[in-house]
Amino acid sequence: MQFSKIINQKEVKQQLVELIQHNRLSHALLFLGKEGSGTLSLALALAQYLTCEKANPKSQTTNPNASLFEEEPTTSNLKPQTSNDSCGICPSCTKANQLVHPDIHYSYPVVTKKSGTPPLSVDYITEWREFINNYPYGNVYDWLQFIGAENKQGNITANECNDIIHKLSLKSFESEYKILIMWMPEHLGAEGNKLLKLIEEPPPNTLFILIAENETLLLPTIVSRCQMIKIPMLETTDIESALIDSKIDPAKARQVAATAEGNYREALQLLQHAEEDWQGILRDWLNSIIKTGPIAQTKWVEETSRLGREKQKQFLRYFNHLLEQSIRSKIMGSNIHLPDNEKDFADRLNRLADISQQQAIIEELDRASYYIERNANAKILFHALTIKLYHIIQDKIVFLAT
């Protein structure tokens, strides 16, 4: 992976390159960013850049004991770097791009592959390479589904920590550096304390790159030992441009990018389900809440609970998007430009609920998405959500039926 292949994130890329060029790179980095922002891709690009034979030749320092991670740059023996990206063609880049470089190691949530054996990342390395190639912006749910984990919870176990300690205790094979990329350390329980000494006092030229989405789920003892690199969400224009470059119709790209809210993975999901009639499903739901009553609500919940978790999340996100557009429409009036069908629905939502009510619904939808992500019972969740929405909008009844 090269930096140039990653959607925008120019400031982060420049920050990483400058840290390396000025010998200010910590031996433990924590990439913190929301799903779909490109955190994993950035980590892979950084690892490739560090091992690239042209951007970072082995002869970078005349002192064989000199470290990349020094407190002060040793300008007397440091050869300046002129490239801000890996070359992409040298043997090291080829291996790094194919995820087969012997000095770049990977750790990620997994489940037991064979009964009676401990779950280890290395058991899934073939699947990992295929997953990264096909879903570089995928999330942990995508990964666990990809390896057939079904509803099992993936973990980074004590056995995995022991394997990491063993790997990083060995000498590097080809590069000056040994690199561990750990994806989703939120799945690292108290067993992660096994890594503390290694992270705090690593062997020379050893780099840890941890990639996380939720800082609150990380062990504080590990966070305190890492240099944090915050990865922002993508701009809507970035996603739109990336989709257009992928030969998506510009009008569709603009609509999807606006709904994705900075999450490129979500944009791809929206394209995959572009034929779904989310507006029709939403109209049926709201009419059952404010017009047709419990029997229609029960039928709607039954049908929606069978959609599957990803489609349920897509639907809630679509509803959230319409609510946000309706609020903007009420505030900005004719200054907001929406597709005709969305503008009509936004106007109906504005007649149905005022801004405070719409904001309350948005909060409930966000909460529901959170629980869906954590395998909540869909029937119970949507029944409860239906009741909550009824109480939020019960004092303003407007039929949405066309």
> How many domains does the chain fold into?
2
How confident is the model at residue 352, as a pLDDT?
84
Burial class (CB in 10 A: 0-12, 13-18, 19+), 373: middle
Q: 201 and 326: one domain?
A: no
Is 266 part of a structural domain of the chain? no
Residue 342 reports pLDDT greater than 80:
no
Q: How far is CA 197 from CA 176, 177, 205, 284, 306, in A?
A: 22, 19, 16, 57, 47
- Rounded to an integer, what distance in angstroms lies between the CA atom of residue 104 and that of residue 95? 10
Burial class (CB in 10 A: 0-12, 13-18, 19+), 376: middle
Is 166 part of a structural domain of the chain? yes
How confident is the model at residue 386, as a pLDDT?
94
CATH code of 44's domain: 3.40.50.300
What would the pLDDT profile of 369-392 be if each residue is shown by its tens digit?
Answer: 889 877 889 999 999 999 999 988
Is 155 part of a structural domain of the chain? yes
Residue predicted with more confidence, 38 or 261: 38
Residue 231 reports pLDDT greater than 90:
yes
Is 111 part of a structural domain of the chain? yes
Q: 37 and 179: one domain?
A: yes
Q: 116 and 190: one domain?
A: yes
Instruction: Report the 3 state secondary structure along 150-212.
Output: CCCCCEECHHHHHHHHHHHHCCCCCCCCEEEEEECHHHECHHHHHHHHHHHCCCCCEEEEEEE
What would the pLDDT profile of 148-175 be if each residue is shown by its tens digit?
Answer: 887 688 899 999 999 999 999 988 888 8
Judged by DSSP in three states, 218 sits in coil
Query: How far, rounded to the nearest angstrom, does the alpha carbon of residue 161 sit from its chain's CA centroid?
Result: 23
Is 40 part of a structural domain of the chain? yes
Q: 78 and 197: one domain?
A: yes
pLDDT grade for 106, boundaries at 50, 70 and 90: very high
Ranking 243-247, 298-302, 327-331 by mean pLDDT, the lowest is 327-331
Is 365 part of a structural domain of the chain? yes
DSSP 295-325: HHHHHHHHHHHTS-HHHHHHHHHHHHHHHHH
How confident is the model at residue 215, as a pLDDT?
92
How confident is the model at residue 136, as a pLDDT?
93
Q: How far is CA 198 from CA 157, 164, 191, 293, 362, in A?
A: 16, 10, 13, 60, 44
Over residues 39-61, mean pLDDT: 82
How confident is the model at residue 82, as a pLDDT?
52
Is 257 part of a structural domain of the chain? no
Cβ pair 264, 233 in contact under 8 A: no
Q: 224 and 280: one domain?
A: no
Mean pLDDT of the chain: 85
Over residues 298-305, mean pLDDT: 94
Is 287 part of a structural domain of the chain? yes
Domain containing 86 equals 3-232
pLDDT grade for 141, boundaries at 50, 70 and 90: confident
Q: 51 and 191: one domain?
A: yes
